[in-house]
């Protein structure tokens, strides 16, 4: 009887682990779709941006120094993202009200999405523990117009990340136009 129970637990846990690893986004694979509320209260899905390049960035907390620097840099570079047919979308576990206040205070006009249930940050393996609280890790994914992840960054430097992403977009777009 015990052996049977051990086997059952092993199969259940093993199946759960396989399912968890199968859902991990990988460079070259499809970006998992999701729908989250934005700072203006609208529901935004990743699939809404099909046909555009997407810079999907995860960040720890509205209004903190590093997150503010990173957001300001993405905001400052918005014209350059537009020239590259790219949109910037930020995700944290903060609320829509927090995002709204952050955008208003800092003059941000790109989408910040509220993942208060932590589903998307987990789906994109972008979580970290800070003083016992689970928050979003500072990770970024560049997704092509067909919805494929072409580049992933972990633990980015907020001071230079936007310029780093713009350079990567130039390289990736050069590579995709050369292969057509």
Q: Which residues are catalytic?
A: 67
| Rounded-to-integer distance, Cα 101 and Cα 162, Å | 22
67-72's contacts with Cβ under 8 Å and 24+ in sequence apart are 67/92, 67/158, 68/106, 69/158, 69/159, 70/138, 70/156, 70/158, 70/161, 70/162, 71/102, 71/106, 71/108, 71/112, 72/106
Q: What is the DSSP string of 79-91?
A: HHHHHTTEEEEEE
């Amino acid at each position: 009887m015990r052996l049977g129970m051990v086997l059952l637990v092993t199969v259940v846990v093993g199946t759960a682990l396989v399912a968890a690893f199968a859902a991990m986004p990988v460079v070259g694979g499809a970006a998992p779709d999701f729908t989250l509320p934005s700072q203006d209260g609208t529901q935004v899905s990743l699939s809404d941006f099909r046909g555009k390049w997407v810079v999907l960035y995860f960040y720890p907390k509205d209004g903190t120094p590093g997150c503010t620097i990173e957001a300001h840099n993405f905001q400052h570079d918005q014209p350059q993202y537009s020239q590259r047919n790219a949109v910037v979308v930020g995700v944290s576990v903060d609320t829509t009200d927090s995002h709204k206040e952050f955008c208003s205070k800092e003059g941000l006009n790109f989408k910040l999405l509220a993942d208060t249930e932590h589903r998307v940050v987990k789906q994109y393996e972008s979580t970290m523990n800070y003083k016992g609280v689970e928050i979003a890790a500072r990770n970024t994914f560049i997704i092509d117009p067909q919805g494929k992840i072409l580049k992933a960054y972990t633990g980015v430097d907020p001071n230079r990340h936007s310029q780093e992403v713009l350079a990567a977009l130039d390289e990736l777009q050069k590579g995709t136009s050369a292969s057509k």
